[in-house]
């Protein structure tokens, strides 16, 4: 059997790991404040984002996309996979 993903609109942003990243959505700021998202190697060039999930911790590297899924879950996605899987939706 073959299956196809249903069309679903998600929210996401590209994590640059820059202190001044201006496009951080409110949901990632909230996740950082409540401890769902933390950092390792903070203030170094090797900084990583740690996203706590029910399946364990997921690590995001500089340049990865951070996705908020349909149920509010957060997870990282490599840029090449993200660009193959998603396309930008015009907001109404």
Strand 11-14, strand 65-68: pairing: antiparallel
How far from chain centre, in Å, is Cα 54? 16
Q: Looking at the domain assignment, is residue 52 inside a domain?
A: yes
Model confidence band, residue 17 (pLDDT cutoffs 50, 70, 90): confident
Domain count, the chain: 1
Q: Looking at the domain assignment, is residue 36 inside a domain?
A: yes
At 22-77, the pLDDT tens digits run 678 999 999 999 999 999 998 888 999 999 998 999 999 999 999 999 899 999 99
User: CB neighbours (10 Å) of residue 10?
Assistant: 13
- pLDDT for 78 equals 97
Q: Looking at the domain assignment, is residue 28 inside a domain?
A: yes
pTM: 0.86
Q: Looking at the domain assignment, is residue 56 inside a domain?
A: yes
- pLDDT for 52 equals 96
Distance between CA atoms of 13 and 25, rounded to whole angstroms?
A: 8
Q: Looking at the domain assignment, is residue 4 inside a domain?
A: no
Range of the domain at 20: 11-85
Distance between CA atoms of 42 and 83, rounded to whole angstroms?
A: 27
- pLDDT for 21 equals 67
Distance between CA atoms of 92 and 76, rounded to whole angstroms?
A: 26
Q: Looking at the domain assignment, is residue 77 inside a domain?
A: yes
Q: Looking at the domain assignment, is residue 6 inside a domain?
A: no
Q: Looking at the domain assignment, is residue 92 inside a domain?
A: no
């Amino acid at each position: 059997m073959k299956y196809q993903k249903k069309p679903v609109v998600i929210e996401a942003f590209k994590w640059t790991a820059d202190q001044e990243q201006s496009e951080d959505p409110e949901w990632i700021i909230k996740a950082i404040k409540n401890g769902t998202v933390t950092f390792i190697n903070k203030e170094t060039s090797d900084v990583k984002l740690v996203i706590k999930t029910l399946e364990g911790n997921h690590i995001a590297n500089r340049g990865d996309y951070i996705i908020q899924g349909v149920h509010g879950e957060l997870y990282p996605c490599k840029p090449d996979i993200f660009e193959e899987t998603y396309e930008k939706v015009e907001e109404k």
